[in-house]
Amino acid sequence: MSIKVWIDGKFYPKEEAKVSVYDHGLLYGDGVFEGIRAYHGKVFRLKQHVDRLYASAKAIWLEIPMTREQLAQQVDACVKENKLTESYIRVVVTRGFGDLGLDPRKCPKPTVIVIADTIQLYPKELYDTGLAVVTAATPISHRENLNPRIKSLNYLAHILAKIEGIQAGVHEVIMLDHEGYVAECSGDNIFTVTEPDKKAKGKKIVRTTPANAGILKGITRDAVIELAEDAGYDVREETLTRYDLYTADEFFLTGTGAEIISVVKADGRVIGDGKPGPVTKDLLGRFRELAKSGG
């Protein structure tokens, strides 16, 4: 059965799903999107994803021509239409059909697209053995240029960073901000695990880069923070340097596509004992249990 894609009120077979070459999403990357997962037929944290999509749209002065409730219903409908129990959903809202100029007022109506398909971001065996990563020379966008909190269709900086990783023979890269601090990966958020300090009262410390550090505030990231707190870990949002990554006991990534995956080597430095650590495994197990309920 061919995957069916919903575009502006109608389902089309995947092979026939099209947008105009005059759509400003294609011409200028003028639009926003969300990547969402469904587990056992239940969409994971749909409300949070829809809220983030509308926040991104508002930030770029784009009015989505549906209510949040209508869009959420359409996501569910697209999953059911394609008879998928485990799926990856992509919601795209572009500025729509316009002319060849930049003026967004020339686009009378946004284009709304919902895709439900499958995805495998990393090979399955890497969830058992862990990833190797390198630091990319390409930084994330400056927050006053294109704020990384906006999940826009313009992902070129992250693609250029990804290309650096491909050339280095690794699956993912560390991206820094304009000051040289750790921000995020090309498609994932970053966490470290370290031994307790005096303030941690015997609890393992789980650190992640703060939401105002020029990162996309991930839905999976937020879920993992909640799970880690519930599990009794000392969770902190702190500015991180590459030194903090190299010397951590554990280093893992989170994202809608990635879920939770361990990093065992960064810029040639072995992390911890070179294997996925116990805290990472614990949180992955807790996340999978959460996912069964739709989050």
pTM, rounded to two decimals: 0.94
Q: pLDDT tens digits for 40-82?
A: 999 999 999 999 999 999 999 999 999 999 999 999 999 999 9
Given this model, what pLDDT does residue 211 score? 84
**Which one of the listed residues 4, 151, 162, 204 is annotated catalytic?**
151
Strand partners, 31: 94
Calculate the average pLDDT of the chain: 95
Instruction: Judge whether 75 and 89 are in contact, CB under 8 Å.
Output: yes
Given this model, what pLDDT does residue 97 score? 98
Given this model, what pLDDT does residue 1 score? 65
Listed residue (96, 109, 106) closest to 24, CA to CA: 96
Instruction: Judge whether 219 and 258 are in contact, CB under 8 Å.
Output: no
Q: pLDDT tens digits for 206-241?
A: 999 998 777 999 999 999 999 999 999 999 999 999
| pLDDT band per the 50, 70, 90 thresholds, residue 147 | confident
Q: Return the DSSP state at 106.
A: G
> Which is it for the CA torsion 17, 18, 24, 25, positive or negative?
positive
Separation of alpha carbons 100 and 103, rounded Å: 9
Q: Residue 55, class by beta-carbon neighbours within 10 Å (0-12 exposed, 13-18 middle, 19+ buried)?
A: middle
Listed residue (99, 81, 127, 103) closest to 20, CA to CA: 99
Instruction: Judge whether 34 and 91 are in contact, CB under 8 Å.
Output: yes
Taking residues 254-276, report their average pLDDT: 97
Q: Residue 77, class by beta-carbon neighbours within 10 Å (0-12 exposed, 13-18 middle, 19+ buried)?
A: middle
Is 80 designated active site?
Answer: no
Residue 198's CB is within 10 A of a number of other CB atoms, namely 5
Q: pLDDT tens digits for 151-208?
A: 999 999 999 999 999 999 999 999 999 999 999 999 999 999 999 988 888 899 999 9
Structural domains of the chain sorted by starting position, each given as residue range(s) with its CATH number in brackets: 4-117 (3.30.470.10), 126-292 (3.20.10.10)
Separation of alpha carbons 285 and 71, rounded Å: 30
Instruction: Judge whether 159 and 178 are in contact, CB under 8 Å.
Output: no
